[in-house]
């Protein structure tokens, strides 16, 4: 999964840099939010970490 996401990231998430708009930003935020929760929890950095 992470390899596929990295490849997509390397390809600017299938968006041409000159055509980026607010919709693209919202989409990336939509992708990033659950990934941050997963990463924080897996690394013990979430809100419940001691």
pLDDT of residue 36: 93
Distance, in Å, from the CA atom of 6 to the CA atom of 33, rounded to the nearest integer, reads 16
The pLDDT score that the predictor gives to residue 49 is 63
pLDDT in tens, 1-30: 989 999 999 998 888 889 888 998 898 899
Instruction: Give the mean pLDDT of the chain.
Output: 89
Alpha helices (runs of H) in 1-50, residue ranges in sequence order: 2-10, 22-42
């Amino acid at each position: 999964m992470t390899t596929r996401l990295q490849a997509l990231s390397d390809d600017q998430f299938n968006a041409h840099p000159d055509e980026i708009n607010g919709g693209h930003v919202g989409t990336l935020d939509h992708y990033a939010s659950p990934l941050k929760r997963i990463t924080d929890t897996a690394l013990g950095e979430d809100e419940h970490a001691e």
